Chains A and B, each alone.
Chain A
Amino acid sequence: MRYRTLFPRDVFAALERMQHEMQPSFDWSPSIRGGSGDRYPAMNVGGTPQSVEIYAFAPGVDAATLDVQIEKGVLTIAGERQVETPAEKAAVHIDERFAGRFRRVVTLPDDIDADAVQAKYRDGVLHISIARKAAAQPRRIAVQ
């Protein structure tokens, strides 16, 4: 799910966000898999020359029930979030939090090593770090 910014009526922020969402990035396919707005978990992707870093903002999930898979260059994160339901006689004033099953898919760059993956769940964020293949890493060439 997308976290709205504090001041939604700020036109410049809205424009900036629109522009941001339309910008394609090399390891992300927003077009065929839908927009990046309003999805659970919200995801950030980054990279270093040695690794690809994926952060899935999945608060309130039992880490043991998370299913993370890499297949054919695609990373899939799936699971289920159960939220506390109100008591029978309670009034629901605000109901915004995501509940239920989720599945998100990210295309990975070609140079990743699917056998060198680390996944950690902390403070409600699933952090997946995938190493790039050694051959793909930049090497300095000594000039004789």
Chain B
Amino acid sequence: MSDNTTKPAEEARDERSLLPAVDVFEDAGGITLYADLPGVPRDSLSLQVEAGNLTIEGEIALAVPAGMEATHAEVDLSRYRRAFSLSKELDTEKVKAEFANGVLKLRIPKAEHAQPKKIEIRID
């Protein structure tokens, strides 16, 4: 799993977005990804797996009173986007997603044939 977010440069120019912070762990059974997407309601989160690419996108929706003027903004865009290329041993049919309090958890298991087998080392 590698980060290829910066590749579609043309696209990025048209629609700038925030890069969410992520943690990615891999164990024998698969990959677990956590992404911080604060301010994104569940129905504004989009996950896509296409041609070996995983794309996470989300739109921030905040309760803003009418006529508010921003005086300080560290989060200065309203959309998150991050993409990863997946390697072929990952089973994209069995991705599990949980989303709560602005944190996305994705579990992408490895395909059956890619599950670990202990390789014996013979010393003659």
**Interface residue ranges, A against B (CB under 8 Å):** 1-10, 13, 20, 25-28, 36-37, 39, 41-51, 53, 55, 57-61, 83-84, 86-87, 89-98, 120-125, 127, 129
Asked if B123 is at the interface (CB within 8 A of a chain A CB), the reply is no
**Interface residue ranges, B against A (CB under 8 Å):** 1, 3, 5-6, 9, 12-13, 16-28, 31-32, 34, 36-41, 61-77, 80-82, 101-103, 105
Which residues of A lie under 8 Å from residue B37 when comparing CB positions?
59, 124
Which residues of B lie under 8 Å from residue A53 when comparing CB positions?
64-65, 68
Q: Is the CB of A43 within 8 A of B62?
A: no
- Whole-angstrom CA separation of A142 from B37 in the bound complex: 48
Interface residues of chain A: helix, strand, loop or mixed (majority): loop
Partner of A6, one of B5, B31, B65, B71: B5
Q: Is the CB of A125 within 8 A of B3?
A: no
Q: Is the CB of A46 within 8 A of B24?
A: no
Closest 6 CB pairs of A and B: A124-B102, A59-B102, A124-B38, A86-B25, A3-B18, A60-B103
Q: Is the CB of A96 within 8 A of B75?
A: no
